[in-house]
């Protein structure tokens, strides 16, 4: 349920209203706007008498929210959420590019790629240390050493780092990580979602291979229900019958999610296509669709990458793409951040 309170409501009336709602055992999500304040009520709202609240002078509107996601719902929080990471803004009118290799492979590799993507204008560095692989015999990542190397690259370049958490047992290693990624395969690992919800760190939540947008929003809700509202959604392609691409990029996810939620939405053109030459056109299409950013795999030597070389751009290709993105951003009214 949402209650829209007029800004003419004085502090005493407002506090009385809030206390009364809390007394019903409900949690309140407050969003202050210039003309009104939206109170989002989370919990069993069946005890709330809509007619009684609507009759108060200071109330503009009371509405039941049918969707099962509450904190993530744009009705609860009409303005875009903007998440700040290392001086960069994600969401709203800002556009962000996260770039780096699929996996951290060595100190020289991650430092070289970090410097190259920074030079081309990326604002955050990605790199997998714990890799969820389909085969148990495939490279599983450098694990804690991978995190240490990412931190070295961060120190060297100043780029904040994004890396995937695959198990709550590794959480201690992530204290200096700027954004924790929850990968597609863990989108519905509810225990993991609850734990990252307790960290207070921004979370990059990737859509599962076969999950609906509503399920993605419900997973965001798990994180937010723990008090962490810094969730960045990521469309990374879904399973369809198509075999010419690794997955099918569902670009309509961007305008649909923009309508349903206030959370930032970024696109992963690398995992969604699986083909390096498709990364640039789909990145530009993502800008056109209104995405808040991109996460792109870049490798200094894609042919010899230990993971996802076929979809990785080399630094030159990435720099060319960044130039094109910068050219079209003003057309969609976004600022590079």
Helix (H) or strand (E) holding 13: helix 11-23
Q: Please select the residue that binds ligand PEP; options are 2, 42, 97, 102, rule is CB under 6 A.
A: 102
DSSP 34: S
Nearest approach in angstroms of CB 102 to Mn ion is: 3
Q: Which does 184 bind (CB under 5 to 8 A by kind): ligand PEP, Mn ion, none?
A: ligand PEP
Nearest approach in angstroms of CB 30 to ligand PEP is: 33
Q: Please select the residue that binds ligand PEP; options are 128, 264, 269, 302, rule is CB under 6 A.
A: 128
Nearest approach in angstroms of CB 27 to ligand PEP is: 31
Q: Which does 3 bind (CB under 5 to 8 A by kind): Mn ion, ligand PEP, none?
A: none
Instruction: By CB under 6 A, tell whether 206 contacts ligand PEP.
Output: yes
Beta bridge partners of 166: none
Q: Please select the residue that binds ligand PEP; options are 183, 202, 269, 315, rule is CB under 6 A.
A: 183
Best CA proximity match to 293, nearest among 88, 78, 132: 88
Nearer to Mn ion, 45 or 314 (CB): 314
CA atoms within 13 Å, Cβ hemisphere of 69:
24
Distance CA 273, CA 100 (A): 17
Instruction: By CB under 6 A, tell whether 184 contacts ligand PEP.
Output: yes
* Window 59-98: residues binding ligand PEP (CB under 6 A): none
- Of the listed pieces 138-146, 171-179, 183-191, 218-226, which binds ligand PEP according to CB under 6 A? 183-191
Q: Please select the residue that binds ligand PEP; options are 258, 260, 271, 334, rule is CB under 6 A.
A: 271
CA angle 154, 160, 163 (to 5 degrees): 95
Nearest approach in angstroms of CB 60 to ligand PEP is: 41
Where along the sequence are the contacts to Mn ion (CB under 5 A)? 102, 308
Distance CA 288, CA 278 (A): 16
**Cβ neighbours of residue 234 under 8 Å, at least 6 residues apart?**
204, 205, 206, 207, 265, 266, 267, 268, 295
Instruction: By CB under 6 A, tell whether 299 contacts ligand PEP.
Output: no
Structure-token pair, residue 4: 């829209």
Q: Which does 206 bind (CB under 5 to 8 A by kind): ligand PEP, Mn ion, none?
A: ligand PEP
Nearest approach in angstroms of CB 58 to ligand PEP is: 46
Best CA proximity match to 329, nearest among 284, 297, 295: 284
Best CA proximity match to 271, nearest among 234, 242, 302, 304: 234
Structure-token pair, residue 322: 């960044």
Best CA proximity match to 311, nearest among 265, 269, 260: 269
Nearer to Mn ion, 74 or 185 (CB): 185
**Edge-to-edge strands, sheet with 27-32:** 27-32, 36-42, 2-6, 59-63
Nearer to Mn ion, 43 or 132 (CB): 132
Instruction: By CB under 6 A, tell whether 127 contacts ligand PEP.
Output: no
**Interaction site with ligand PEP (CB under 6 A):** 102, 128, 132, 183-185, 206, 236, 268, 271
């Amino acid at each position: 349920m949402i209650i829209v309170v007029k800004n003419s409501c004085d502090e005493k009336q407002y506090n009385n209203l809030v206390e009364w709602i809390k007394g019903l055992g409900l949690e309140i999500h407050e969003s202050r706007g210039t003309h009104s304040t939206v109170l989002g009520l989370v919990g069993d709202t069946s005890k709330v008498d809509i007619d009684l609240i609507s009759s108060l002078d200071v109330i503009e509107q009371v509405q039941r929210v049918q969707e099962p996601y509450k904190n993530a719902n744009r009705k609860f929080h009409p303005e875009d959420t903007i998440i700040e990471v290392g001086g960069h803004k994600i969401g709203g009118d800002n556009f962000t590019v996260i770039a780096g290799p699929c996996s951290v492979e060595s100190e020289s590799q991650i430092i070289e790629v970090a410097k190259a993507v920074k030079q081309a204008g990326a604002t955050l560095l990605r790199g997998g240390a714990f890799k969820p692989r389909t085969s148990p015999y495939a490279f599983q990542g450098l694990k804690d050493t991978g995190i240490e190397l990412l931190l070295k690259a961060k120190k060297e370049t100043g780029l904040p780092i994004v890396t995937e958490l695959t198990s709550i047992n590794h959480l201690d290693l992530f204290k200096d990580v700027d954004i924790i990624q929850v990968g597609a395969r863990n989108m519905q690992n509810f225990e993991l979602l609850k734990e990252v919800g307790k960290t207070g760190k921004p979370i990059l939540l990737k859509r599962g291979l076969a999950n609906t947008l509503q399920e993605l929003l419900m997973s965001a809700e798990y994180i937010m229900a723990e008090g962490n509202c810094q969730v960045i959604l990521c469309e990374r392609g879904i399973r369809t019958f198509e075999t010419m691409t690794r997955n099918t990029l569902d670009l309509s996810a961007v305008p649909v999610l923009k309508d349903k939620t206030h959370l930032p939405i970024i696109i992963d053109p690398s995992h969604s296509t699986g083909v390096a030459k498709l990364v640039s056109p789909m990145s530009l299409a993502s800008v056109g669709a209104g995405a808040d950013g991109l996460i792109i795999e870049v490798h200094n030597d894609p042919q010899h990458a230990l993971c996802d070389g076929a979809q990785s751009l080399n630094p030159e290709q990435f720099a060319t793409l960044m130039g094109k993105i910068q050219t079209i951003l003003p057309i969609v009214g976004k600022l590079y951040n």
